[in-house]
Structure 1
């Protein structure tokens, strides 16, 4: 499991995917979220601007990211 250390209150989903180098661009991040390829705490979530917070787990392409 990958870990992302949050430096504020939250990070938008598309920025998290970019920061973890799971997508090459913000546009690509929006596409994969809209296509239902990303899970947020075990559920598919289509919100691009979803606020990911500490304790959340995001899954994409077989990778799990725990936000701490």
Structure 2
């Protein structure tokens, strides 16, 4: 599982997918999320604006990401 560091309290799911390089555009992020290809903490998530916080994990396209807070 890859570690992603954020400096804010949270990051929206669609922005996280772009940050991780899983998608290039917001439209691609929206499609991946709405088509049911994204799991947050092991559960299917179809809300692209979901707030992802430190400690959450995201799985998409065979890749896993763990979000950590960077001070």
Question: TM-score, normalization: structure 2?
Answer: 0.93
5+ residue gaps, structure 2: none
5+ residue gaps, structure 1: none
Which runs of at least 4 in structure 1 moved beyond 2 Å after TM superposition? none
Q: Which has the higher strand share?
A: 2
Aligned 1:26-41 pairs, distance under 5 A: 26-41=26-41
Question: TM-score, normalization: structure 1?
Answer: 0.97
Pairs aligned (count): 68
Shift of the alpha carbon at 1:6? 1.1
Aligned 1:4-43 pairs, distance under 5 A: 4-43=4-43
Query: Considering only aligned residues, what root-mean-square deviation do their CA atoms show, in Å?
Result: 0.5
Alignment partners' CA distance in 2, 1:7 and 1:27 = 24
